[in-house]
Chains A and B, each alone.
Chain A
C-alpha cells in the first residue's frame, strides 16, 4: 500500500502524500481534486456521526464510521482509517462507553488530516 518507502515500525504519516499520488497513477490534478472532495465530506460525516450517536442509532454510527474508514484508506490517511475502524467496531459491539473514547480520537484525527491537507494545498 502506502508504505513503499517507510519502515514497518515507523508510525504511518497522517497523510501519505506520495502513496496517495501513486494511487492516483501520478496524476496531480486527480489527487488534488480528490483531496478537495475528501476535505469537503469529512465535516459532514462528523456531524452525521454525532447526530446518530445522540439518537442512539448505533447501526448508523457503524455505517458512517465504516465509510470514513474506506475513504481514509483510499486517500492514504492510515491513522484516520484506524481511528474510524475502532469507532466502527465499538458501534458494532454496542459498547457506548468505548464508542465515546474512540470518537474522541477520531475527532483528533479528522482535525489533523484537515490541517495537513490545508497546509499542503
Chain B
C-alpha cells in the first residue's frame, strides 16, 4: 500500500480483514491517514497467506467471513506463539453479543462495533499501540537481563524461573493481611518484570572471577559481591533520569539488596529485617531456591525437598520468617515451576557428590548464582 504521509516515525503494520468492500476501503483510508502501514485480506485464509510476507502488529478483522471467519483467524494467530504480540481487534455487529464474547474468548484484545466510527477506531488503535509499547518495554528489560546473564555459561532458564518464583511468592503475600497494603496486583506485575534484573551488575565482574569453575577465594568473593553495587549504580542513574518510571525503583531495590540477609549478615550494606525492601526479600528466597535446585559444574542439584529443608532451616537467619512461611504455602507451585522450566535432566536421586555442611552449601549457592 502506498502511504501519503511520511511524518509518522513509528509506522505500525496493520492487517485489515473483511469481506465487505466498503468497510475495507474505509479502514484502509483511515489507517493510512493515521500513519499506519496497511495490508488487506478478504477472509481469514487470505489473511494467513498475507502474513507469510507481512508481519502485522495489529489485526482488525471482521467476524463473519467465508473460508475462515474472524474467530478462527484469531485462534490461529494466538496458537502460533510468534515472537511478537499481535494486537487483535474484532469488528462485530452491534447486535451480536455472542460473537463479541466468543471473540474475546478466542484471544481478541478488543472489539469495534460495525459500522465503526473513525474516532472510535482511532482510540481503539491507541489502546493497542500502548499495549504493544508496554510489551516492547517488558521485552527490552528482559533482554537486558538476558544479555547480562549471557556471560555466565550455566544459568539456562534461571531468569525465567526467578520471575515465576517471585510472582508466586508475591501473589501468596497478597492474601496476607500484613502485606495487604503493600502487595497488590501491580506489585506482583512489577516484581515479575524486574526480578530478572537482579544480577545485571555481573556485566562488571571480570571473567576470571565470574567464570571460575571452582570455589572462589575470599578475595574473589569480595569482587563477586560487587555485582550488587555495579547493578545498583546503573539503575540508580536510570532512576534519576526517569523518576516517573516506578519499575526502575523496584529494579534498583532488588539489584542492590537481593543478597542482604534478614539477620544482618548479608551484603553489601548488612541491612537487617525490614530495612531490606520486601521485593529484595522475595527475590532472595527465589534466587537461593533456584541456585540450590540447579546443577552447577562443581555440584549436583538438590532435590526440591532438600532445598526446601534448607530454606526452612534458614527461617529468621538468612530469610524473612514470613517469606519462609509463604514459601511453605506455595511449595508445590515452586516445585512445579522448577519442573516446568527445567534446563537440565531431572535429578534422579538426592545423592550429592560430596555432602557439604548446609551453611557452606547455602553460601556457595547464594553467591555462585548470585
Contacts and interface: CB of A to CB of B under 8 A. Distances in A.
Contact of A74 (B29, B64, B114): B114
A31 B19 CA distance: 19
Most chain B Cβ neighbours within 10 Å, of A25, A38, A70: A70
A23 B26 contact: yes
B22 A37 contact: yes
B20 interface: yes
Contact of B118 (A23, A41, A69, A75): A23
Contact of B64 (A27, A63, A71, A73): A63
A65 B346 CA distance: 59
A73 B115 CA distance: 6
Interface string B32-54: 01000000000000000000000
A25 to B, nearest CB: 6
B136 interface: no
B66 interface: yes
B118 A67 contact: no
Interface string A48-80: 000000000000000100110111011100000
A37 B29 contact: no
A37 B21 contact: yes
B18 to A, nearest CB: 8
Contacts of B115: 1, 23, 70, 73-74
Interface range on chain B: under 10, 10 to 19, 20 to 34, or 35 or more? 10 to 19
A57 B128 CA distance: 39
A47 interface: no
A104 B190 CA distance: 61
A41 B16 CA distance: 19
Contact of B23 (A25, A66, A74): A74
Contacts of A74: 20, 22-23, 26, 114-115
B26 A24 contact: yes
Interface of A: 1, 23-25, 27, 30, 33-34, 37-38, 41, 63, 66-67, 69-71, 73-75
Given A33-B25, A37-B22, A74-B22, 6 more contacts: A30-B25, A67-B20, A70-B20, A70-B23, A71-B22, A74-B23
A-B residue pairs, 6 tightest by C-beta: A74-B22, A73-B115, A74-B115, A70-B20, A71-B22, A71-B20
